[in-house]
Amino acid sequence: MCKIAFSIPNEILYDTRQSEEEALQFVRRFTALSYYVHRGVSLGYAAQIADMDKESFIRFLGENGVSIFHFDNEKEFQEELANA
């Protein structure tokens, strides 16, 4: 695993009433979400980045309005739905 570090102002933690651990968890989860949505990183890798199991990460995606299903067009969606 690669480690990436950056700094945020202490005032952010104060204003958000987050501990350093809570801020780290927030950054990991939303970085993973962004990689999943914008960079096409797999669900498994995104879950690892978020430090979550896949099931928990899927729930996290749902809580943030992100579907795990990706269709390029309505026809593809209809075909998949018919095969379900």
pLDDT digits (tens, 9 = 90+) for 37-77: 998 899 999 999 999 999 999 999 999 999 888 767 777 77
Residue 52 lies in a domain: yes
Tens-digit pLDDT profile for residues 16-44: 999 999 999 999 999 999 999 998 899 99
E strand or H helix at 13:
helix 10-16
Q: Is residue 4 part of a domain?
A: no
Into how many domains does the chain fold?
1
| Separation of alpha carbons 61 and 59, rounded Å | 5
Q: Are 43 and 36 in contact (CB under 8 A)?
A: yes
- Cα dihedral across residues 31, 33, 39, 41: positive or negative: positive
Smallest CA-to-CA distance from 46 within 35, 55, 59 is with 35
Structure pTM?
A: 0.80
Range of the domain at 64: 10-83
1 located within any domain? no
